[in-house]
A and B are shown apart, each in its own frame.
Chain A
Amino acid sequence: MYKFTISGSPHVKSDESTKKIMYGVVFAMIPAMLVSIYFFGFQAIRVLVLASIACIFFEWIIQKYLIKGPSTINDGSALVTGILLAFNVPSNLPSWMIIVGALVAIGMAKMSFGGLGRNIFNPALVARVFLLISFPVQMTSWPKPTGFSKGLTDVITGPTPLGIVKEGLGAGKTMSELRTETPSYVQYLVGQTGGSIGEVSAIALLLGGFYMLWKKIITWHIPVSMLGTVIIFTAILWGANPEHYADPAFHLLTGGMLLGAIFMATDMVSSPMTHGGQLVYGFGIGVLTILIRVWGAYPEGVSFAILIMNAVVPLINQGFKPKRFGIKPGIEIKS
């Protein structure tokens, strides 16, 4: 007599897995990693390796000794957080600060909520903001993109284009004067500019974004809504006074805008569940980013904007339901 397995349907399963998604994200980040290594040399390798190992280590030790559950480091999510953390800091950040950042990302922002899938905020961004507030000097001294030509200790630092513009406008300079002090758009596209290691090259980030769209790891809704909002908002300001406000292309290509839109805001765990909600979420990030960049105390606002909108996600999920089958549009939104 044979013994058969009994279970409920469905009896087949797609080959989707958490691991596949996470390593897909890692793969999508490779172009930006290579560009960062090209422009920031050994220092970029140091930051990337250290942040990744530290994040994986903290996840392993917390899971083993505090949560006392099976190891979760193989799912790839700690590695994603590690690389994103590295992407969000300058290449000359002291090693111990990177380790502190990793502990904040994994320990505070992820595992204290119960681990993967339960965190409200994007772990890498929580760590970045923690570091920015705790170590403002080190977190805003940006090495110039000199590649391997300089040694490990000999670094020339300078402000980012966003910092130059913020300070310059504050000192009464005009945009046409400031444009001569900042890199060209071509340099932004390839990544030859100061900034956090992963955010400098627009082309590398877009490559990763298209890969994730193709593999259906992300959908277009959040990046398009966020960047679209930024373009429209900054175009209005720029159109009103081009000497006092930077143009949309400048906003789009500088700072963490593309890194945020493609890799941070699209984080599955901390973004809304429906396409409608995702559009609203992207819109909110776009508006907040520009508000902070133009009128706030910080030159860059992407991290804050995403974290603030992360906090709104549960509310967005309540308000934005999918289009239900068999329900007329207009009454599908329930509180």
Chain B
Amino acid sequence: MGILKTFALGGVHPKENKLSANAAIEVLDPPKQAFIPLGQNLGAPSKPVVARGEEVKTGQLLAEASGFISTPIHSPVSGKVFKIDNILNASGYKQLGIIINVEGDEWMEDIDRSEDIVTNIDYSSEEIIDKIKKAGLVGMGGATFPTYVKLMPPPGTKAEYLIINGVECEPYLTSDHRMMLEKGREIVVGTQLLMKALKVDKAIIGIENNKPDAISHLTELVKNAEGISVQALKVQYPQGGEKQLIKATVNREVPSGKLPISVGCVVQNVGTAFAVYEAVQKNKPLFERVVTVTGKDVKKPSNFLVRIGTPVQQLIDAAEGLPESTAKIINGGPMMGKAISSTEVPIVKGSSGILIMKEEEAHRKTESACIRCSKCTYVCPMGLEPFLLSRVSRVGKFDIAEKEMIMDCIECGSCQYTCPANIPLLDYLRLGKNKTGAIIRSRGKTA
């Protein structure tokens, strides 16, 4: 396995709690009614192309991309469009979405539904990118950045490495882990497709050392795949962060304010690699994904293959119900996920897990005075000073926040996790980033 690599600055080690690591992926039935928000990617929301009352098939185009950084959305179910209306999203906002009353499960004819694994790559780089674009692929790790945009390096830059993110550094979550174990071959083909699309000859699959079965399985599978290697990584949060993973695998540092491509790297999640396989080899748009449902009191911590638009409640029911003790539900992992207010919120392309927390875990501890212990600075993976940034943000000194590089914060939460005084550092950092970002943008407009 070689020496375990990791990133250089900061990092924390929260309790892993991977309760569902041994639960094989179960296919969940389509919902009775699917709620499909139109903004499922980072960037512009999609534009609906279906009307109320229209019959749709599974995999049929529902909404098209409305700009460069935007993706189409396909129907995860077959049935009749009930209405196009505001639906509650995971952030607690009402957002325009398409609601479909499900009837049967009739798929589009051009989707290859066979179990065979297609390993022959018959497409050119451009064809692969086009298929990925049309299939509505976004980063499945949670950032939901349109995949095809990352595959087209801007002029003057060139990709050297494709890095596949199998780190899954968030505690509790196991969807990527299960994918690597059960869909390893497809992920390898997806990786080869991405390599061809990017015209690179080197790909590294980075996996943390707490998943030895996934490491050995994929190491075995890539033996005959030229240019792909598996890199075991020391367990450390937030190793799944793009910049941290690049540092850990190829020891390059993405300059402040720049994209990974500036150091010749493109990072894609293992879930995305699988979706690329399905989109290109099986003609299947992105309309379902693997979601972990977990929590200390959850009776059956599970990993489900679910249709986009399925209400969270249905996943919880399949994991044998909401525990009595439930006080908080998180969409995503405990370090970066969002607390949701209702179980009616639908699964979207970026949902990686549903974490159910009990009363004792649900509340923050009382904040006390900062004792200037510097622990937030020691753990910051970006080399920032969270105590200082939160303090200047609290009093509105955004000029200092900008100078002290608040925009480099990746919101990983390591500072707040570690703070002995329980100060909500990340709350203030988010506020500061938001305001500072607005100031920077307005400056650009007037200049």
Number of interface residues of A (CB under 8 A): 38
A10 and B335 within 8 A (CB): yes
Dominant secondary structure of chain B at its interface with chain A? loop
Residues of B within 8 A of A274 (CB): 374, 377, 385
Residues of B within 8 A of A17 (CB): 365, 420-422
B377 and A273 within 8 A (CB): yes
Q: What string of 1s and 0s marks CB contacts (under 8 Å) between A104-121 and chain B?
A: 000000000001111000
Complex CA distance for A118 and B371, rounded to whole angstroms:
8
B385 and A321 within 8 A (CB): yes
A20 and B420 within 8 A (CB): yes
Interface stretch, picked from B49-57, B105-113, B129-137, B253-261, is: B253-261
A273 and B387 within 8 A (CB): yes
Is B104 in contact with chain A by the CB < 8 A criterion? Answer: no
B339 and A12 within 8 A (CB): no
Is B384 in contact with chain A by the CB < 8 A criterion? Answer: yes
Is A66 in contact with chain B by the CB < 8 A criterion? Answer: no
Residues of A within 8 A of B385 (CB): 273-274, 321-322
Q: What string of 1s and 0s marks CB contacts (under 8 Å) between A5-17 and chain B?
A: 1111111111011
Complex CA distance for A77 and B9, rounded to whole angstroms:
30
B327 and A5 within 8 A (CB): yes
Is A295 in contact with chain B by the CB < 8 A criterion? Answer: no
Complex CA distance for A12 and B365, rounded to whole angstroms:
10
Interface stretch, picked from B37-45, B58-66, B265-273, B424-432, is: B424-432
Is A247 in contact with chain B by the CB < 8 A criterion? Answer: no
Is A21 in contact with chain B by the CB < 8 A criterion? Answer: yes
Dominant secondary structure of chain A at its interface with chain B? loop
A21 and B405 within 8 A (CB): no
Residues of B within 8 A of A326 (CB): 243, 253-258, 382, 408
Complex CA distance for A2 and B321, rounded to whole angstroms:
13
Known contacts A273-B374, A324-B383, A326-B256: A6-B339 contact under CB 8 Å: yes
A325 and B383 within 8 A (CB): yes
A14 and B382 within 8 A (CB): no
Partner of A322 from the list B329, B337, B380 (CB cut-off 8 Å) is: B380
The A/B interface has a contact count, at CB < 8 Å, of: 161
Partner of A10 from the list B257, B258, B336, B374 (CB cut-off 8 Å) is: B336
Query: Among the interface residues B340, B411, B413, which one has the most CB atoms of the partner chain A within 10 A?
Result: B413
B300-335 CB contacts (< 8 Å) to partner A: 322, 326-330, 332, 334-335
B364 and A7 within 8 A (CB): yes
Known contacts A10-B335, A12-B14: A18-B368 contact under CB 8 Å: yes
Partner of B420 from the list A8, A11, A16, A322 (CB cut-off 8 Å) is: A16
B406-447 CB contacts (< 8 Å) to partner A: 408, 411, 413, 416-422, 424, 426-427, 430
B101-123 CB contacts (< 8 Å) to partner A: none
B408 and A16 within 8 A (CB): no
**Contacts A/B (CB < 8 Å), 20 sampled:** A4-B327, A4-B342, A5-B328, A5-B363, A7-B364, A8-B339, A9-B339, A9-B426, A10-B416, A11-B357, A12-B14, A12-B334, A12-B335, A13-B422, A17-B420, A117-B421, A268-B373, A274-B377, A325-B256, A325-B382
Q: A75-B368, A328-B255 are in contact. List 10 more A-B contacts (CB 8 A).
A: A5-B339, A5-B362, A7-B328, A10-B334, A10-B417, A13-B364, A13-B416, A14-B12, A18-B421, A326-B243
- 5 A-B pairs with least C-beta separation: A10-B413, A326-B256, A324-B383, A117-B369, A16-B420
Residues of B that sit less than 8 Å from A by CB: 9, 12, 14-15, 92, 171, 243, 247, 253-258, 322, 326-330, 332, 334-343, 355, 357, 361-365, 368-375, 377, 380-385, 387-388, 403-405, 408, 411, 413, 416-422, 424, 426-427, 430
